[in-house]
């Protein structure tokens, strides 16, 4: 994703995060963790490594960390990362959060579980094929939720 597109993409999310009314006020907020987390977790003998691309306020990263996964949370909005860190701290779990564009995350970094809950379906159409290719290089289990 080029710098111009990244700037345009961030504008889409700024109005939500700038409202600063807490995670419950975000349009995509969900109280319960993404349902794929439990199914991937139950399919394994032990927790593994996971990345949540576009982690938002951290509901899913914190849920995975609570199950014992080694979790990376990534979001290109600074406010999202701040909210996620606060939630992890409140819940007493450790998550490795990064403020970065998912397109720039190293492709050679492998995870047992790659979660995308709401990033892909917000992408401009012309960026989707490149993003999917990247996802497939990073995963063993891949969960995509629109
Ligand atoms: C619809 S929200 C979903 C948040 C969270 N996954 C959830 O389910 O609650 C999409 C999130 O993806 C982030 N995002 C969108 N495009 C991104 C990109 N290219 N790189 C990193 N984060 C991105 C946005 O900032 C936003 O927090």
pTM listed for this prediction: 0.94
Q: Ligand 1: which of 85, 119, 124 to mutate, judged by most atoms within 8 Å of the beta carbon?
A: 119
CATH number for the segment(s) 3-145: 3.40.50.150
Rounded CA separation 94/65 (Å)? 7
User: How far away, in angstroms, is 79 Cα from ligand 1 center?
Assistant: 11
Q: Is 10 exposed, middle or buried (0-12, 13-18, 19+ CB in 10 A)?
A: middle
Per-residue pLDDT at 137: 79
Per-residue pLDDT at 70: 98
- Strands 96-99 and 141-145, bridge-based pairing: unpaired
Per-residue pLDDT at 21: 86
pLDDT at 105 over 90: no
> What residues are in contact with ligand 1 under a 6 Å CB criterion?
9, 13, 28, 30, 54-56, 59-60, 74-77, 80, 101-103, 117-119, 122
Per-residue pLDDT at 88: 98
How large is the average pLDDT for residues 102-113? 87
Per-residue pLDDT at 146: 57
- pLDDT (tens digit per residue) in 26-84: 989 998 999 999 999 999 999 999 999 999 999 999 999 999 999 999 999 999 999 99
From 111, 109, 116, 105, select the one nearest 143 (Cα to Cα). 116
Specify whether the CB–CB gap between 72 and 95 falls below 8 A.
yes
């Amino acid at each position: 994703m080029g710098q111009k597109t990244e700037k345009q993409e961030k504008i889409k999310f700024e109005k939500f995060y700038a409202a600063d009314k807490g995670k419950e006020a975000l349009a995509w907020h969900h109280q319960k963790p993404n349902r794929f987390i439990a199914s991937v977790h139950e399919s394994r003998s032990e927790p593994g490594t996971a990345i949540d691309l576009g982690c938002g306020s951290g509901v899913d990263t914190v849920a995975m960390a609570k199950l014992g996964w080694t979790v990376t949370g990534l979001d290109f909005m600074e406010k999202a990362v701040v909210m996620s860190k606060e939630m992890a701290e409140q819940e007493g779990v450790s998550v490795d959060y990064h403020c970065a564009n998912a397109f720039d995350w190293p492709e050679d970094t492998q995870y047992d579980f790659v979660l995308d809950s709401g990033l892909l379906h917000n992408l401009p159409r012309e960026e989707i094929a490149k993003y999917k290719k990247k996802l497939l290089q990073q995963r063993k289990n891949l969960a995509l939720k629109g």
